[in-house]
Structure 1
Amino acid sequence: MTTLFVRHEVSDYATWRKTYDAFDQVQKANGVTAQAVYRATDNPNDITVTHEFATLEAAQAFGKLEELKTAMRNGGVLGTPTVWFANKT
């Protein structure tokens, strides 16, 4: 199992969350088996999201989706996200 971690700042959490929640079916259709959202305690617009996948290849393909990039723009993501992949041991 591979986990995709994405950390980014958003302009408004409520707006971002509506966009994120509306993206649920796209996540499932592209191999997301579990997900979680975390907000920094000192900045509620500093978001870390995790998505779990069966394989690294599936996680990498999801990260390249044009629909994902569009949703991130529409949700008010600021700047370039920090992205990394990890395997649970």
Structure 2
Amino acid sequence: MNAQHTTENLTIHHKVKDYAAWRAGYDGHEKSRLAAGITNGRVFRSVEDPNDVVVLQDVADVAKARTWVGSDDLKTAMQKSGVVGSPSIRFAA
């Protein structure tokens, strides 16, 4: 791996009850993501199921991002925005 590589990726895949409601919650949580060093979020939706969502984000500090991913703040935000079940969360270089 290139020693200059400093950005990791965070992928979150989950189902939502209603994409529009989820998207409003996701957009409203931007400051929290930025505070955790999570940037450049790209949202993708399944063609077959528009409520099947994948978010790809850049991570500056994996330890900080892992703390954020496990936080009650994120769990509450996901519940409020209509995430169904448990999300699949992966970090990759």
TM-score relative to the length of structure 1: 0.90
Alignment: residue pair count:
87
2:35 aligned residue: 29
Distance (whole Å) between structure 1 residues aligned to residue 45 and residue 85 of structure 2: 17
For structure 1, the residue ranges without an aligned partner over 5 or more in a row are: none
2:57 aligned residue: 51
Greater gyration radius: 2
1:1-89 equivalences in 2 (<5 Å): 1-87=7-93
- Cα offset, 1:23, TM superposition: 0.4
Distance (whole Å) between structure 2 residues aligned to residue 25 and residue 42 of structure 1: 31
Whose strand fraction is larger, Structure 1's or Structure 2's? 1
Residues 2 and 54, structure 1, Cα contact 8 Å, conserved in 2: yes
Distance (whole Å) between structure 2 residues aligned to residue 34 and residue 61 of structure 1: 19
TM-score relative to the length of structure 2: 0.87
For structure 2, the residue ranges without an aligned partner over 5 or more in a row are: 1-6
Deviations 1:13-37 (A, max 9, x none): 0100111111011111111132111
Post-superposition, which runs of at least 4 consecutive aligned residues in structure 1 deviate over 3 A?
A: none
